[in-house]
Structure 1
Amino acid sequence: MPAQHRQFIETWRQQMPDWPIMAWTDADIDWSVRYLQQAYATRGWNRISNYMRMHALNRYGGFYLDTDIELLKPLDPLREERAVLGFQVAEPSDSWVNGAVFGAEPGHPFVRRLLRAFHEEMPGWRRMGDSHGPGLITRLLRDEGLSRCTGAPQHVAGVTLMPVDRFYPYHWTESFTPACITPNTFAVHHWEHGWGGQRPLTARETLRALAAATMPGPAAALARRRIASEKARRAGPGRGAQALDGVEPA
């Protein structure tokens, strides 16, 4: 994990010292899920992250935070909400609502709807920009009636949607400046640009994706072997294994 991200996580501990922090790595992934097999086969680390945050929230509840989130004040005032997301831009767009900060009670219906979309609708092997993340969240919220962004929290499908300044006070095309922070800002997303591009699959990735789609059992076993090999390669002699990063190659 980059040193800067470790510093951001330290702000979580400073702001909420009584909250437990749980981390998900490749060791926690259920490789029987076909979407995850396909995403791993095509090195879609951000797609795996998009899925796993929904899995974690559905099972445990709490707040999911990307590791490039700097926390400025405790999230305790939001604990009364059944689910919490934030607009990343005020203007309507296909990626209106981001999931880099996502709070939910265990088994929340909207989280379950997102998981169902991953299982039934989303091609894990396909690079689609952020359509596996903010694009998917926004699309499903629009299906539930989302039509505007205001300067106050609003409720759609049992989800409290927070204004832009709460979690995303500056745009991903801008540089951070403390002037963007308002008295209402809980957190700052520092936009590490890990969502990747939409380059064509290589021949090897295409074969892996086909195997994941048609032979899920062997594909899961192969994924586990590749992960073990990757860990050993990254660790090197005399070092502990390191988790895969969350950046998808462009």
Structure 2
Amino acid sequence: MIPKVIHYCWFGRKEKPQQVVRFIEGWKQKLPNYTIKEWNEDNFDVNSCDFTREAYIHKKYAFVSDVARLYALFVEGGIYMDTDVEVIKSFDDLLYESFLIGYEQPHTIGTGFIGASQGDLVISQFLNEYKIKHFVNSDGSFSETPNTTLISNFLIKNNISVKIYPIDYFCAKNYITGNIQQTPNTYCIHHYAASWKPWYAKIEMTICHLLKIKYRDFLFRHFSKL
């Protein structure tokens, strides 16, 4: 069983934008019988592994969150959500599962919503992958591969069989076009605010949304020769 606890991360000690505050208030309204817990520098040891220590030093807080969310789920169980997730309806009828995750694109796992029982084996395996990684590579560059890619590849590489819910359950928004894809199955919508991305990456994503073309194709055609 998954306990009625919602976990989210907020590292860097900056004030939350109003949009984030509104999303969290929305969680409280839709999930009145759930405990909501924030993970930050005060209750998560950013020096617990090389990956988080290095990411925190370089103020890459989203990558600290990649590990902190897994730690929270493994130690306490519950549901992790990014702070740009809008809750549509209660998760009560899903709590019998031991592990919850869904697609954000046809071949990519979404990590803005993850549910797990305390001590879940799959979460433990994900967490162990980060314990042997460095955020700063030997050449000084950063290991900024999105956790969606890392987790998707890990499941495939290790032939781990888990139930993966369709896109409309936990994402319900196309991050390329920005189109909402809500259905009667939708529990929450990930709005992909991408608060961790630099300003120029946000502009690139906005252009892609307007032109309705793939983000990676846009980058390749226009920036590969720079």
TM above 0.5, yes or no, is yes
1:145-184 paired onto structure 2 within 5 Å: 145=159, 157=161, 159-177=162-180, 180-184=181-185
Give the CA deviation at 1:26: 1.6
Q: Give the total of aligned pairs.
A: 179
1:44 counterpart = 2:56: no
CA gap of 1:169–1:88, structure 2 versus 1, over 3 A, is same
Contact 2:46–2:53 (CA under 8 A) maintained in structure 1: yes
1:101 counterpart = 2:113: yes
Give the CA deviation at 1:78: 1.1
Give the CA deviation at 1:190: 0.5
Structure 2: stretches of 5+ with no match in the other structure: 1-15, 199-226
Match of 1:22 in 2: 37
Q: 2:150 aligns with which of 136, 140, 152?
A: 136
Identity of aligned residues (%): 26
Contact 2:101–2:163 (CA under 8 A) maintained in structure 1: yes
Give the CA deviation at 1:28: 1.7
Distance 2:63 2:167 in 1: 24
Deviations 1:83-104 (A, max 9, x none): 01110011x3xxx001110000
Match of 2:90 in 1: 74
Distance 2:119 2:146 in 1: 20
TM-score of the aligned structures, taking structure 2 as reference length: 0.74
* RMSD between aligned residues: 1.9
Deviations 1:54-93 (A, max 9, x none): 0100100000011100000001111011101110011x3x
Contact 2:171–2:188 (CA under 8 A) maintained in structure 1: yes
Match of 1:119 in 2: 131
Match of 1:9 in 2: 24
TM-score of the aligned structures, taking structure 1 as reference length: 0.67
Distance 2:122 2:148 in 1: 14
Higher relative contact order (CA 8 A, sep 6+): 1
Match of 1:190 in 2: 191
Q: Which amino acid aligns with 2:135?
A: G
Give the CA deviation at 1:38: 0.8
Distance 1:6 1:168 in 2: 20
Distance 1:194 1:117 in 2: 25
Give the CA deviation at 1:2: 1.1
Q: 2:73 aligns with which of 53, 57, 66?
A: 57
Contact 1:69–1:188 (CA under 8 A) maintained in structure 2: yes
Deviations 1:1-26 (A, max 9, x none): 11111111122111111111111112
Distance 2:18 2:46 in 1: 29
Deviations 1:22-66 (A, max 9, x none): 111121221432221111122211110101000100100000011
